[in-house]
A and B are shown apart, each in its own frame.
Chain A
């Protein structure tokens, strides 16, 4: 399971994002990209000291400033489904161009036996 795979599968889910500055953002994930830039909606922002709170309709957060994200457990099931689909797709793909990988493995095994 890849971090960005998990994040991609969490679209629409509620999550908590803490920034390196200590501020945290609770909201529903709208969108994310390969840099972990994320788009949240219906956000509650908490200041770094935890004393002040803001309601924000939507927020765009740069991926490089994120410390961590808390994601609901249910997403795991979705990811498993997705990754199962992907791996079956991948298998098809590798079998198409597969000769290469297979041969390599075979040769390697052979030489080690010799």
Chain B
């Protein structure tokens, strides 16, 4: 109770400004600017998601929210073995995760599986 009251009185003192600012920011950024990626076009499509920390999964996008938390179904994680000597990573195996929720803040990369393929070095011809 005391804490709450303190907060209230603080807010009242410097109130107008802080409140106004917060409102403005919320309106500008989290609403409009948040959606540079239209996830609707990936609904029920297979997408590849990389997480901070190095994990990588592929799953069917079943849902999302304005913060870009995701729901993936039939999800499969691709496990990587890190070779510290050569400083390389290699995909070794995968494991099934099923239905998962991905937290938005952990997602560092998102791309559709459709049209994704491993190719030979495309930069060789250019430099020659």
Task: List the interface of chain A (C-beta within 8 A of B).
Answer: 19, 21, 31-34, 37-39, 43-44, 47-49, 51-62, 64-65
Q: Which residues of A contact B13 (CB under 8 A)?
A: none
Flag if A60 contacts B34 (CB, 8 Å): no
Asked if B89 lies at the interface with its beta carbon under 8 angstroms from chain A, I say: yes
Smallest beta-carbon distance B105→chain A, Å: 9
Q: Which residues of A contact B114 (CB under 8 A)?
A: 57
CA A8 to CA B111, docked complex, whole Å: 21
With A33-B36, A60-B111, A65-B108 as given contacts, are A51 and B88 in contact (CB-CB < 8 Å)?
yes
Flag if A55 contacts B117 (CB, 8 Å): yes
CA A52 to CA B117, docked complex, whole Å: 11
CA A21 to CA B55, docked complex, whole Å: 12
Flag if A61 contacts B108 (CB, 8 Å): yes
Tally B residues with Cβ within 8 Å of A. Answer: 26
Flag if B112 contacts A58 (CB, 8 Å): yes
CA A52 to CA B120, docked complex, whole Å: 7
Listed A/B pairs (21) with beta-carbon separation below 8 Å: A19-B108, A32-B36, A34-B29, A37-B36, A52-B118, A53-B118, A55-B116, A55-B119, A56-B111, A56-B115, A57-B112, A57-B116, A58-B111, A58-B112, A59-B109, A60-B37, A60-B110, A61-B108, A61-B109, A62-B108, A62-B109
Task: List the interface of chain B (C-beta within 8 A of A).
Answer: 29, 33-34, 36-37, 52, 54, 86-89, 107-112, 114-122
CA A109 to CA B67, docked complex, whole Å: 49
